[in-house]
């Protein structure tokens, strides 16, 4: 069984949690649903109709699927539930982003963040992105990330991953254009369930997302990067890099002691050769640690190994987790220094983008997801 630790790369998964002796319908891929339909005495093609109703029409009960006979609606209702969350709370940031706190039926909690990307003059909503979680907590324990301070509890099942998307699309009455696996957890330590969720998202019968609008962010689980490149509909890959030397990365990303930058770069090159998709490197500049001209030069060299870019991300406050050791010593590079650092990367031939941050006032920004109840706005309880 995959316990989520960085030493275990098994494809086995935690069994689907059962709610009232029913399985969550959102956790079933089309292929599995076809088999289940036949086992219930239905034609296999009904599975595509159910997928269409679930994800395009967004029905909330089987009785709404008119193509299915009533007796089959009842069979499905006995087997499956649409419910996966026990309760939901949300906070709205001054920048328009929204953080959701989902309480699961086993009492554990996860967070997701909706981010509206506006045009430069804020007149047009260019894309709608959801940052989703793949685990309860995280085993990787990067020093700059609040989620790692929670430790690892368990993997999310496929239904719990997809349900984040479905709930938020309904709640905000929007169509999400992009999904990023950058919430709580290391996605590639929950490989099977993450890949099954990608299968559902990219299935033409669900119509949820194009594969190139999905990004999986990893701290560098090298064996799984190779596997991910070979799925039917490969998605974009982001590497949570944050250093250009193994000495520095060992200090801030403990996983590097097992799979270092050289190992990651070999996996990245293989991923690009297999998929043809450009790579993104996520990089938080820290004062006097990884923001030197020499770092910029090394980053540019990394960028030129395969088509790729560096996203420079602000370091967001995690003092509410009471960090100690190296984590307590980290300080963000100044805004001016980050701009200069980006220009240096470009000077050496790399591609660098200075990213904005969302939801800092509600502890929803990159690295802050830790089930914090600190708010500058009212927490709203939502009815399920």
Tell me which residues are annotated as active site: 111, 366
- Token pair of 275 as six digits: 């998929």
Distance CA 348, CA 342 (A): 10
CA angle 249, 252, 254 (to 5 degrees): 80
Distance CA 189, CA 105 (A): 22
Instruction: Report which of 315, 308, 228, 318 is spatially closest to residue 271, judged by C-alpha positions.
Output: 228
Question: How many residues are recorded in the chain?
Answer: 384
Sign of CA dihedral 167, 170, 172, 177: positive
The phi and psi torsions of 75 (rounded to 5 degrees) equal -60, -45
* 380-382 and 85-92 beta bridge pairing: antiparallel
Would you tell me how many other CB atoms lie within 10 Å of the CB of residue 266? 14
Distance CA 224, CA 212 (A): 19
């Amino acid at each position: 069984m995959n316990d989520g630790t960085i030493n275990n790369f098994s494809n086995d998964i935690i069994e689907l949690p059962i709610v009232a002796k029913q399985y969550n319908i959102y956790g079933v891929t089309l292929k599995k649903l076809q088999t289940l339909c036949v086992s219930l005495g239905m034609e296999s093609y009904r599975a595509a109709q159910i997928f269409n109703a679930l994800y395009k029409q967004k029905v909330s009960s089987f009785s709404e699927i008119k193509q299915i006979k009533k007796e089959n609606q009842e069979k499905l209702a006995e087997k499956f539930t649409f419910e996966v969350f026990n309760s939901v709370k949300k906070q709205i940031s001054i920048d328009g982003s929204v953080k959701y706190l989902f309480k699961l039926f086993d009492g554990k909690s996860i967070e997701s963040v909706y981010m509206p990307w506006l045009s430069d003059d804020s007149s047009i909503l260019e894309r709608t992105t959801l940052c989703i979680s793949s685990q309860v907590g995280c085993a990787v324990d990067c020093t700059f990330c609040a989620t790692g301070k929670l430790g690892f509890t368990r993997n999310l099942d496929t239904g719990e991953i997809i349900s984040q998307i479905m709930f938020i699309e309904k709640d905000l009455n929007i169509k999400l254009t992009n999904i990023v696996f950058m919430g709580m957890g290391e996605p590639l330590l929950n490989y099977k369930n993450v890949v099954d969720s990608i299968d559902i998202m990219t299935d033409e019968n669900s119509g949820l997302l194009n594969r190139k609008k999905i990004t999986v962010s990893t701290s560098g689980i090298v064996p799984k990067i190779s596997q991910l490149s070979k799925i039917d509909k490969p998605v974009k890959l982001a590497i949570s890099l944050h250093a250009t030397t193994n000495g520095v990365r060992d200090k801030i990303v403990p996983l590097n002691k097992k799979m270092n930058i050289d190992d990651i770069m070999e996996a990245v090159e293989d991923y690009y050769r297999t998929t043809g998709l450009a790579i993104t490197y996520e990089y938080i500049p820290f004062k006097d640690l990884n923001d030197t001209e020499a770092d910029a030069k090394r980053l540019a060299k990394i960028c030129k190994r395969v088509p790729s870019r560096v996203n420079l991300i602000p370091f967001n406050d995690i003092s509410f987790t009471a960090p100690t050791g190296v984590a307590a010593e980290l300080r963000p590079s100044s805004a001016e220094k980050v701009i200069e650092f980006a220009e240096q990367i470009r000077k050496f031939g790399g591609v660098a983008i200075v990213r904005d941050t969302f939801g800092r006032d509600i502890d929803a920004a990159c690295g802050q997801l830790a089930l914090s109840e600190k708010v500058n706005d009212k927490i709203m309880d939502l009815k399920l």
